[in-house]
Amino acid sequence: GAVVSQHPSWVICKSGTSVKIECRSLDFQATTMFWYRQFPKQSLMLMATSNEGSKATYEQGVEKDKFLINHASLTLSTLTVTSAHPEDSSFYICSARALDRDGEKLFFGSGTQLSVL
């Protein structure tokens, strides 16, 4: 399947600082990427849809000013958690659509564990 690279895999930061997470499609171009959040023992919650060259679409209840998404190229989307607080500590995962023999599918990055102290 297609490869989606996510970096960093884990990050620890102080409360009030900003953290940037990168998501790259390595062997294909992704006009659309998705950002998810996952708490322990829970399923993935879609936060926003990232569209190359345009503004991201956020799900209801997700603060646009807190979770800044930039999709400046066909292979890179970034999520910046601004002024992070302990309640933002979570596992963040990106995904991208790619075509394979069965059709268009969603492939995921390896995730980023964010811990805010």
Partner 1 sequence: QKEVEQDPGPLSVPEGAIVSLNCTYSNSAFQYFMWYRQYSRKGPELLMYTYSSGNKEDGRFTAQVDKSSKYISLFIRDSQPSDSATYLCAMSPNQGGKLIFGQGTELSVKP
Chain residues in the site for partner 1 (CB under 8 A):
1, 4, 6, 32, 34, 41-44, 46, 49, 91, 93, 95, 97, 102-111, 113
Q: How far apart are CA 4 and CA 87, in angstroms?
A: 27
Output the smallest distance, CB 104 to partner 1, in A: 3
Closest CB 88 distance from partner 1, rounded Å: 17
Phi, psi of 72 (to 5 degrees): -80, -20
Spatial neighbors of 115 by CB under 8 A, at least 6 apart, are 10, 11, 12, 13, 89
- Which DSSP letter does residue 86 get? G
Q: CB of 56: closest distance to partner 1 in angstroms?
A: 14
Q: In this complex, which beta carbon is closest to partner 1, that of residue 36 or of residue 67?
A: 36
Closer residue to partner 1, CB minimum distance, 34 or 67:
34
Nearer CB in complex with partner 1: 44/82: 44
For the chain, give the longest Cα–Cα distance.
Answer: 45
